[in-house]
Amino acid sequence: MPLPAGVYRADHVGSFLRPKAILETREKVESQAATAEDLRKVEDEHIATVVWEQIENGLQSVTDGEYRRAWFHIDFLQHLAGVEKRGHVTSTNVTSHGMTPPRLVVVGKLGHPNPIQVDDFNYVNKQVEAVKASSGASQTVTAKVCIPSPTMVYFRGGRDAIDADAYPTLEPLFDDIAKAYQAELDDLYAAGCRFVQLDDTNLAYLCDEGMSKEAAQRHGKTPAELTQQCVDIINASISKRPKDMTIGIHLCRGNFRSQWFAQGGYEPVAETLFKGLNVDVYFLEFDDARSGDFSPLRHLPEDKIVVLGVMSSKKAELDDKEAMIERLKEAAGYCPRGLDQLCLSHQCGFSSTKEGNDLTVEEQWAKVRLEVEIAKQVWGDDLSQ
């Protein structure tokens, strides 16, 4: 059975370490020493470079590195009508850096007045085609768009972060979230996008006993009910996507400056996640003991793929090649079709926020090259099969 379009044996979650020039220009914009147009020009220049670097280092799924974002989710979601960034999330779970993410608040009726990601996709896709034309590259290369999961709109804030006049009850909000995402997927498809990855922390956080209890208290539902609610909202949001648009989802336990927020294996959500969520491919963290063992993969249907994040983007040193191969084989033992249902990646991107993880750019690309090398050894030179 072939891989879904846009999925490759050596794959990645999407973000790369931000160039210094982008970070400096972003700071100037914040202090009003530069304009948003100035920042976009700098981003354009460096995105063109990172597209070339991804292909040069063996990746066939290509993103803009999330260079246009300070946060993987905020910079997208604040473009929805009715959504604002206010303060920070209150939680007992913080990194050793003392960071808590910005808090999103629904202040009015939620909507999708304009395409959010289309211009960014068009620019990346143009760069991909330019690199292929100049290099004579014959392999398939896909421009992938990464956007936050629909659950990121409401989950962290709960009822207190949703205006009661706009939404006396929550079902209309969930309907409006789904309609907004349907509109965005329609716009992306019309622009030529055929792969969209949803980035979701909430399903992974429901695997953490402490964070699951916090969420249950915040929402007044059991963890099992919250899991089903998340799945229902995501399914509604992608329900109208064309058959030839691949949808993936990445579950993340936190990735701020090589730190993490949540821990716990996938078992609490696994059956609902794998059997109930209508995506084509799962990007899952499995880089250390926090993610539990591979046994939840026994719930994986035969027609779905897991991009197994056994490598680590959090550390500078290279992963052990033979150990990664053994872990792939171990995971395959739980999948109905074995290795045929698996691909390889790092557990998360290299820079989920503008700060990035604690490694150098050179170390980042060395880790990508090792991943491609491992994938070719396990599956062969054609990473699209």
Taking only the tens place, the pLDDT of each residue in 89-131 is 655 444 445 556 788 999 999 999 999 999 999 999 999 999 9
| pTM (two decimals) | 0.93
Say whether pLDDT at 87 is over 80. no
Q: Could you report the per-residue pLDDT of 352-361, keeping only the tens digit for each? A: 777 767 799 9
**CATH number 3.20.20.210 given to 20-379:** yes
CA torsion sign for 285, 289, 291, 296 is positive
Domain ranges of the chain: 20-379
Find the angle CA(235)-CA(74)-CA(286) to the nearest 5 degrees. 60
Say whether pLDDT at 185 is over 80. yes
The encoded tokens of residue 82 equal: 């009715």
Please state the rounded mean pLDDT for residues 64-74. Answer: 88
For residue 88, the model assigns a pLDDT of: 59
Q: How far apart are CA 261 and CA 201, in angstroms?
A: 10
Q: Which of 21-35, 246-260, 347-361 has the lowest mean pLDDT?
A: 246-260
Phi and psi dihedrals of 156, rounded to 5? -70, -30
Q: Which residues pair with 44 in a beta bridge?
A: none
Q: How far apart are CA 263 and CA 95, in angstroms?
A: 13
CA torsion sign for 234, 73, 125, 309 is negative
Q: Could you report the per-residue pLDDT of 227-237, keeping only the tens digit for each? A: 999 999 999 99
**Local confidence band at 263 (pLDDT 50, 70, 90 cut-offs):** low
Phi and psi dihedrals of 355, rounded to 5? -65, -35
Assess contact for 341 and 305: CB atoms under 8 A: yes
For residue 94, the model assigns a pLDDT of: 44
Q: How far apart are CA 167 and CA 174, in angstroms?
A: 10
Q: Could you report the per-residue pLDDT of 186-226, keeping only the tens digit for each? A: 999 999 999 999 999 889 889 888 888 888 888 889 999 99
Query: Beta 102-111 vs 81-88: how paired, if at all?
Result: antiparallel
SS3 16: coil
For residue 254, the model assigns a pLDDT of: 63
Q: Which residues pair with 154 in a beta bridge?
A: none
Q: Could you report the per-residue pLDDT of 243-254, keeping only the tens digit for each? A: 999 999 999 876
Share of the chain above pLDDT 90, in %: 74
DSSP letter at 148 equals E
